[in-house]
Amino acid sequence: MSSKIRYKSPRALKPGDITLRSISFVYIGFLIILPIIAVISGMFKGGLANLWKQITLPQALFSLKLTFICALAIVVINVITGTATAWVLVRYKFPLKNLINALVDIPFAIPTVVTGIMLVLLYGPRSSIGTFLNKQGIEVIYAKPGIILALAFVTFPFVVRAVQPVLMEMDKDMEEAARTLGASRFTIFRRVVLPTLLPAILTGTALSFSRALGEFGSVVIVAGNIPFKSQVSSVYIYGEIESANTQGALGTAMVLLVSSLLILIVLNVIQRWSNKYEAHS
Amino acid sequence: MSGIRVENLRKTFDNFTAVDDVSFGIEEGELAALLGPSGSGKSTILRIIAGLERPDHGRIYLTSREVTHHSVQERNIGFVFQHYALFKHMTVEKNIAFGLEVQKKSKKEIKAKVDELIDLVKLEGYNNQYPHQLSGGQRQRVALARALAPEPRVLLLDEPFGSLDAKVRKNLAQWIRDLHKRIHVTGVFVTHDQNEAMEISDKIILINRGRVEQIGTPREVYETPATKFVASFVGNVNVVESVISDGSIFINGVSPDITLQMRECDLAPGEVVLLVRPEEISLARAATENNLPGIIRAVHYRGSFYEVEIDVGNNLVKAVIDKEEYKAEEWRAKDPVFVLFGKYKVFDASEGYQQVHSMLKQYGYIE
Amino acid sequence: MKPTPDPVDIEVITLWDKRVRREKLGKWIIIGLVFLWFAFLVLFPLYGIFREAGEEGLKTIFSSLKTADSIHAFYLTFITTLVAVILNTVFGVIMAIVFARQKFKGKLLLESIVDMPFAISPIVAGFMFVVLFGPEGWIGSWFESMNIKILYAIPGMMIATVFITIPFVAREILPILREFGREEEEAAATLGASRWQAFWRVTLPSIKWGLAYGVTLTIARSIGEFGAVLVVSGSIINMTQTATLRIHDQFMNFNYPGAFSAALVLAVFSFVILLFIQYAYKKKGGPLL
C-alpha cells in the first residue's frame, strides 16, 4: 500500500457542507422563521394593549376556555383509553388484534374534514341516532359532545403509539420480582408498570393536547361556528380572518402559538428526564 | 426435610421435557446448590419452587406446608433474579421497602427493617441512589436485601454469580455464605459454576437433562461421584503442558512426530496448557489422526463408571469411561493406549507452567 | 407423549387453573372494554361513511364527482401534494444530512424549529402566511408590486401545504442517518467516490424505507390539509379549492351529496395510503406492526 490515506478529523468540513447547510438555513428561515417573525411583529405593530383587549373579548375568551377545557377532557380520555389500548395490543392475544393494530393509525391517514363528515353522518340532525338523542335532550353535533368526539378520534393514536414501544421493550423481570414480593396484579401495574410508562404516556398526552388545541377541520364541520356555544379558538380565528379583523385573529392566534411552543418545550424536557433512569443500565 | 421438599416434579414445554421426575429435600436453614450445565432444567425447577411456573406433575412443600397450587404471592418466598430485576425508577430504599409496603407494614417498621438490611448488605449511604448509579455487585446486594426484607421462609437465587466478573464473584460467593450463616433462611441457588457451588453450599443437587444425578455434600459429590456426568462436571480439569510451534501443538514428553493440529487457536508460538475435561477424553487401541499415545497408569472402579489415569508424555491425565466401554476394551494398567481430546481450551503459559498452575488454581479450575 | 395426569395431579391443576381463570377473566374484560371504545370511536364512523355510500348509490356519487368543479378540486389536491412531496423530500433529506453529519452552534434549536409545523394549529399557520403575503405584509407588498398573486391563488396554497409537511421526511430519516452510515460514507470517500456518488449509492439505499415511510406520511398529510389552505386560498370554487376545501364548501352550502362523495373518495384513498404506511413502516423496521 503506497498511497497515504489522509486522516480527516470528523469535524472537518467536507466540500459542499456549507452549501447544504446554507440551503437548509434558507429553507427553514424562509418557510418557518420568517412567517413566525411576521406574525410576532404584527402583534407588536398593533400594540400590546390592543392585543390584550382582543384576547379578552368575551367571545374570544369563551372560545379559548372551550378549547382548553375540551383539550383537557381529551387528555384525560386519551390517557386511559390510549394506555389500555396499548396494553391490550402488546400483552394479550385475541382475534382481529392485527387488524385493530393497523387501524389505530387511521386518524393519521384520514383528512380531518372527512372525519367531520363521518360524525355528522352518524350523529347529525338527519340521522336516526341524532334525532333520537335530540329527543332526549342530548345534542352531539353543534355542541360540546361533538367536539370531544371529533377530538378523541383525531388524537386517538398519539398515546397508543407512544406507549406501545416502551411496553414492548419493558423487562418482564421487574413484574415477576414484584410478584415474588407478594404484590397483586393491580399493585404491580400501579407501582411498577405505570411509572415505567409514565414518560411515554406524557409524551403522547402532550402531543394530543397540542393537536386538540389547534384542531380545525373536523371541529368546524361537527361543531360549526356558534359563538358562545361550540366555537373553539381555531374556528374563532378563522372567523376573524374572514372578517378581515387581523388584530382580533392575532390575539387568539398568539395564545395558541405560545401554548404550542410551550408544549414543544415540555416534550423536550420529558424526553431528557425519561433518559435519566437509563443512564448506566 | 422441612425446609424445601419437592416430589416427582415434571414439566414439559411443547415436546421438550425440561424437568423429569425430580425429587429432593433441603433442611431448614441449609444452603443448597442446584448445579448443572445450561439447559439442564435447573432454572425451571427453581421457578417451579417459586411458583413462577406450574409443574405438570409433582408436589412442592415449603417449611412442611404444601404449596403446589399456591400463587407466587402466597408462597412467601424471596427470589433474586439473574439480572437483579431492580425497580429502575425507585431508590435503593424504596426497592427494599417494596415487599414490606405490600404487606402493609407501618412506616416505622418499614424504616427499621430497611435500615437493618442496608446495614446487613453493607450499602450504608446508598439509600437514595438509583439502580443505574450502582455497580453490578451493588445491585446484586440490593436485590438480596429486597428479597430478604419480607422475611421469607425460603430464599431462591437464580444464577447469582452469572452476571459478575471473576473477582466480584469470589467475594460475593463468600459473602452469601456469611450472610446465610447470619440469617438462617433456607436457601437454594442455581448455578452452572461448580466452583462456587462447591465453595459455599451445604448440599449440592446435580441436575442434568432434567434429572437428578446426585445429591450430597460438596465433599461427597467430589470424592464419590455417583455417575459419569457428576465425575466430569464436578472435579478437576486435566492440565496438559504443551508447546505451540509452526501451527501445531506439541505435547511435552510426546514424540515430536505426533502433534495436535491447532484448531481456531490464535495464540502465539510458545508454551501453552490444554485444559480438557475427563469426559472429553476418548480412548482407542490404535493411532488415528490427532490422537496421542500414552500408557495407562491405573484404572479405578467407581460404581457406575471407570476412571482411567493415563500418562501422556509428561502429563498425567484422567479420563472417565462407562461400564459398557470398559467391558468391551478391558483396559488395564501398563496398557498402551491412544487418547483423543474432544473439546479443550488452550491457555497461554509463556509466563511459565508454574504460573499457569497457580492461576488456574486461583480461578478454581484445578484443586 | 404426555402421560395422563393422576387424580392427585388433577386436583392441583384444577386449583391452579381456577386462579388462572380468574386472572383471565380480568384480561378479557379489559380487552372487551378497549374493543368497545375502539369500535365506537373509530369503527362506527368508518362504517357510517360506507353505509351512506351504499344508500346514496354509486350512480349519484359518480355524477357528483364528475362535475368540473369536483375534478378541478381533486386536480388541485394532486398538484399541491406533488409539490409538497417533491420539495420536502429533497429539502428534508438535505436537512437530515446536515443535522446528522454536521456540528454547528444552534443545531439543536434549528432541529426544534423544524418540528414547529407539527405543533402549530393549521389555522394559525395559514394566518401567518396571510400576514406575510398579504398586501401589507413584508413579502406580500413586494409581490404585489410585481403583480404576482400569492394569496388567494395556487402559489399560496402550495406554500402553506409545504410548510405543514416540512417535518415528516426529515424526522423519519434523521435518526436513521444518525445511527448508521457515517463509516460507509467515509469508506466510499476513501475509495474515490465523490460526495454525490457516495450519497446516491451508499446513503440513499440505507434510508430507503425510512424515506418511503416519511413520503407516505407527507402525502397523507398534504391530501388532508385543510385549515391552512382554507385561510390562504379563500376557497374560490374552481380556482382555489382543493378536495378538502370542496368538501367543506359543499357541506356549508347544504349540498350534501357533493360534500359526501368527495369525502368518500378521500376516505377510500386514506385506506390505500394506510396500507402503504404500514408496508413502509414494516420495511423500515418499525417494531409496532
- At A178-201, the pLDDT tens digits run 999 999 989 999 999 999 999 999
C274 and C154 assigned to the same domain:
yes
B268 and B326 assigned to the same domain:
yes
The Cα A267–Cα A205 span in angstroms is 10
| Average pLDDT score over residue span A272-280 | 67
Residue B70, chain A, CB below 8 Å: the answer is no
Number of domains in chain B: 2
Give all chains having 3 or more CB-to-CB distances under 8 Å with chain C: A, B
| Average pLDDT score over residue span A71-86 | 96
Residue B71, chain C, CB below 8 Å: the answer is yes
Number of domains in chain C: 2
Question: Looking at residue C72, which CATH number applies to its domain?
Answer: 1.10.3720.10
- Three-state SS sequence of chain A: CCCCCCCCCCCCCCCCHHHHHHHHHHHHHHHHHHHHHHHHHHHHHHCHHHHHHHHCCHHHHHHHHHHHHHHHHHHHHHHHHHHHHHHHHHHCCCCCHHHHHHHCCHHHHCCHHHHHHHHHHHHCCCCHHHHHHHHCCCCCCCCHHHHHHHHHHHHHHHHHHHHHHHHHHCCHHHHHHHHHCCCCHHHHHHHHHHHHHHHHHHHHHHHHHHHHHHCCHHHHHHHCCCCCCCCCHHHHHHHHHHCCCHHHHHHHHHHHHHHHHHHHHHHHHHHHHHCHHHCCC
- Nearest CB to B68; choose among C5, C6, C12: C12
Contact B77 A180 (CB under 8 A): yes
| Average pLDDT score over residue span A30-49 | 85
Domain boundary among B199, B233, B267: B233
Name the minimum distance, in Å, from the CA of C82 to any CA of chain B: 47
- Nearest CB to A113; choose among C130, C263, C278: C263
Name the minimum distance, in Å, from the CA of C35 to any CA of chain B: 30
Probe site for chain C from A8, A70, A118, A129 (most C CB atoms < 10 A)? A118
Number of domains in chain A: 2
Please state the separation of Cα A45 from the chain's center in Å. Answer: 31
Domain boundary among B184, B201, B233: B233
Instruction: State whether residue B270 is helix, strand or coil.
Output: strand
C34 and C73 assigned to the same domain:
no
Residue A277, chain B, CB below 8 Å: the answer is yes
Angle between helices C122-133 and A233-242 (to 10 degrees): 20
Instruction: State whether residue B122 is helix, strand or coil.
Output: coil
Work out the percent of chain A whose per-residue pLDDT is above 90: 53
In a domain, C245, yes or no: yes
Q: State the pLDDT at residue B183.
A: 78
Low-confidence ranges of chain B (pLDDT < 50): none
C181 and C158 assigned to the same domain:
yes
Q: State the pLDDT at residue A281.
A: 38
- Nearest CB to C227; choose among A11, A122, A217: A217
Q: State the pLDDT at residue C40.
A: 94
- Nearest CB to B88; choose among A182, A187, A281: A281
In a domain, C62, yes or no: no
Residue C9, chain B, CB below 8 Å: the answer is yes
In a domain, C61, yes or no: no
Residue B12, chain C, CB below 8 Å: the answer is yes
Name the minimum distance, in Å, from the CA of A191 to any CA of chain B: 9
For residue range C19-39, what is the model confidence (pLDDT) as tens digits? 778 888 888 999 999 999 999
Contact A38 C138 (CB under 8 A): yes
The Cα C131–Cα C232 span in angstroms is 10
Q: State which residues form the domain around C231.
A: 68-283
Question: Looking at residue B101, which CATH number applies to its domain?
Answer: 3.40.50.300
Residue A244, chain C, CB below 8 Å: the answer is no
Name the minimum distance, in Å, from the CA of B67 to any CA of chain C: 10
Contact A180 B146 (CB under 8 A): no
Q: State which residues form the domain around A36.
A: 16-46
For residue range A98-109, what is the model confidence (pLDDT) as tens digits? 999 999 999 999
Q: Which residue of C has its CA nearest to B52?
A: C16
The three grid cell numbers given for residue C195, joined into one nine-digit string: 460526495
Domain boundary among B171, B201, B233: B233
The three grid cell numbers given for residue C20, joined into one nine-digit string: 388462572
A185 and A246 assigned to the same domain:
yes
A190 and A93 assigned to the same domain:
yes
- Nearest CB to B132; choose among A182, A192, A277: A277
Contact A102 C278 (CB under 8 A): yes
In a domain, A10, yes or no: no
Residues of chain B contacting C13 with CB distance shorter than 8 Å? 54, 69
Q: Which residue of B has its CA nearest to A188?
A: B102
**Positive or negative torsion for Cα C143, C148, C153, C157:** negative
B117 and B36 assigned to the same domain:
yes
Name the minimum distance, in Å, from the CA of C23 to any CA of chain B: 12
Question: Looking at residue B251, which CATH number applies to its domain?
Answer: 2.40.50.100
B101 and B205 assigned to the same domain:
yes
Name the minimum distance, in Å, from the CA of C228 to any CA of chain A: 9
In a domain, B367, yes or no: no
In a domain, C232, yes or no: yes
| B 131-190 residues with CB < 8 A to A | 131-133, 146-147, 150
A184 and A67 assigned to the same domain:
yes
| A 183-222 residues with CB < 8 A to B | 183-184, 187, 191-192, 195-196
- Nearest CB to A183; choose among B52, B88, B102: B102
Cα–Cα nearest to C49, from C261, C251, C224, C269:
C261
The predicted complex's ipTM stands at 0.87
Q: pLDDT tens digits for chain C (289 residues)? A: 445 555 556 666 677 777 778 888 888 999 999 999 999 999 999 998 888 888 878 888 888 888 888 999 999 999 999 999 999 999 999 999 999 888 888 888 888 889 889 888 999 999 999 888 887 777 777 777 777 778 888 999 999 999 999 999 999 999 888 887 778 888 888 888 887 788 888 888 888 899 999 999 999 999 999 999 999 998 788 788 999 999 999 999 988 888 999 999 999 999 999 999 999 998 888 777 6
Contact A216 C248 (CB under 8 A): no
A195 and A269 assigned to the same domain:
yes
Contact C103 A88 (CB under 8 A): no
> Is a pLDDT exceeding 50 seen at residue A3?
no
C10 and C128 assigned to the same domain:
no
Long-range own/partner contacts, residues C144-151 (CB < 8 A, 24 or more apart): C151/C232, C151/C233, C151/C234
The Cα A77–Cα A83 span in angstroms is 10
Q: State the pLDDT at residue A1.
A: 42
Q: Which residue of C has its CA nearest to A160?
A: C288
Q: State the pLDDT at residue C13.
A: 67
The Cα B77–Cα A208 span in angstroms is 44
C21 and C128 assigned to the same domain:
no
Residues of chain A contacting B76 with CB distance shorter than 8 Å? 182
B193 and B67 assigned to the same domain:
yes
Q: State which residues form the domain around B312.
A: 238-362
For residue range A200-216, what is the model confidence (pLDDT) as tens digits? 999 999 999 999 999 99
In a domain, A1, yes or no: no
Q: State the pLDDT at residue C268.
A: 92
Name the minimum distance, in Å, from the CA of C171 to any CA of chain B: 29
DSSP letters for C111-173: HHHHHHHHHS-HHHHHHHHHHHHSTTSHHHHHHHHTT---TTSHHHHHHHHHHHTHHHHHHHH
A71 and A166 assigned to the same domain:
yes
Query: What is the model's pTM?
Result: 0.81
**Hey, what amino acid is at A256?**
L
C158 and C218 assigned to the same domain:
yes
Domain boundary among C56, C76, C97: C56
pLDDT band at A11 (very low <50, low <70, confident <90, very high): low
Query: Higher model confidence: residue C18 or residue A56?
Result: A56
